[in-house]
Chains A and B, each alone.
Chain A
Amino acid sequence: MFMQITELSNGYSRLLSRVDPRAKLLAAGLCMVCVSAIRGFDAALAALLFALVLTFAAGVRLQNAVLRLAPANVFFLVLGFVLGLSYPGKTPEGIPWISLDGLELALRIAVKGNTLLLVFMAMVCTSSVPALSHALQALGLPRKLTLLLAFTHGQVFLVRDEFHRLHRAALARGFSPRCTMHTYRTYAVLLGQTVLRSLSRAERIHGAMLLRGFTGRFHTLASPALGWREILLVAALGMVPVLICLHDRWPL
């Protein structure tokens, strides 16, 4: 019924997870733009290999990575099935309804998609959301937006627990979810009730924050420095997909 919320940033102490999130965000952006510009299949495979090394360096567990890549790969599988049957192009001898071009395109999309997700997982998801929010603000995103991100992340777990409580209470009263109008009405009421409780909580939180002297800025205890060693490390990591992309576009 309900998806579990887990964070990759918990309990990882590998090299990349200690790097300043600003540097990681910039490097991730560079890597991802380069990977998305790759056209050749060999270059895409090389980038995937690099992304796997990066994921290992970030200390992401294999099980976590596989679980997180699963939904995207289901999408790629369905896309491959559809493109394999419908994409215009070459067909294998004797099987005119299968498109080789479609299958090749789907495979290239899957390789690039997994590469982009692994880079994102290794470079971005290994930082906590509050740290990311600080980093995004330092990189020039509007303060209101980054505050909204930090506040929302803080509230997600409270609202989830609130919804769980209401849902458990409904189940205890004999509610059994089925494809019926009663089920949809019950979920709508649970959602509406959650919205109402959230609104009153928002007013309490806002009042409490003002009482504690909130002036629109969050200060973090963890403030990793952006030193030369980190910049060099991230630049070196960012250079690999740049070189792969350059070699793909202009081979020697």
Chain B
Amino acid sequence: MHIAEGVLSVPVLAAGAATTFVGIWIGLRRLEENRLILAAVLAATFFVGSLIHVPLGPSSVHLLLNGLAGLLLGWIAFPVLFVGLLLQAVLFQFGGLLVLGVNTCTVALPAVLCGCLLRALLARGGRTALVAGFAAGAGAVLGTALLTALALTLTDQGFLVAAKLVVAAHLPLAAVEGLVAMFAVGFLGRTRPDLLAGRMTSAGEAMPC
């Protein structure tokens, strides 16, 4: 979800940028130098994944994949999603430079929260992991929609109807994201269970949450 340039007020832009700054700072502290390539490859995967249009009813939606990123990367999802959104702004003009802080905050903050809350359930495997995958996928998208609506409403009370529509429009996407994240967790659980236990390399080194 990208809020376009020119919509939000300066205080909201500043608050979003400050939150993103803190998130990126924590994420970078947890990202070790020798995992940069790993994080970059996953960032590229989430970037590419978010460009896929998945059928939904008579139309199609593009995935956010922030829930899955939060589950796999924890706080490192903040710099990873920031880089993805910056690339989307540069390559497609989705979002923009001034609104990048708010857009990162709305996408990455729910992702990190879902990741940190639900990661422990992934390690249990089986149905519990699938439920955690669905909850992370759907919850992160709902969180993104709610934060976007909050940013619009804090800018101007007159945006309240638009903010409600943003949340309503994200409900079907949340369901699709939940399903995709659930199936992806199931697939990763069968092929690389170590990933769901918080280990991102075959060497068994952990990506801390």
Contacts and interface: CB of A to CB of B under 8 A. Distances in A.
Given A120-B97, A124-B97, A156-B47, A2 B158 contact: no
B92 A71 contact: yes
Interface string A79-103: 1001101111100000000000110
Interface residues of A, number: 86
Contacts of B184: 188-189, 191-192, 195
Interface in B9-67: 10, 13, 24, 28, 31, 33-34, 36-45, 47-49, 51-57, 62-63, 65
Interface stretch (A25-33, A224-232, A244-252): A25-33
B180 A152 contact: no
Contacts of A209: 37
A192 B187 contact: yes
A120 B158 CA distance: 28
A170 interface: no
A188 B4 contact: no
Given A109-B6, A113-B4, A7 B91 contact: yes
A112 interface: yes
A83 B44 contact: no
A160 B98 contact: no
A27 to B, nearest CB: 12
Contacts of A29: 97
Interface string B54-92: 111100001101001000100000011011101101111
Contact of B48 (A68, A112, A160, A185): A160
B141 to A, nearest CB: 14
Interface string B86-127: 110111111011100000000000000000000000000000
B54 A187 contact: yes
B161 interface: yes
Given A110-B6, A117-B5, A191 B89 contact: no
A198 interface: yes
A179 B97 CA distance: 35
Nearest to A209: B37
A88 B156 CA distance: 11
A86 B41 contact: no
Given A120-B5, A183-B54, A72 B97 contact: no
A148 B80 contact: yes
Given A148-B80, A188-B181, 18 more contacts: A36-B6, A36-B98, A37-B10, A83-B159, A120-B93, A125-B93, A144-B28, A151-B36, A151-B40, A179-B55, A179-B57, A184-B179, A187-B54, A188-B180, A188-B186, A195-B45, A200-B202, A202-B38
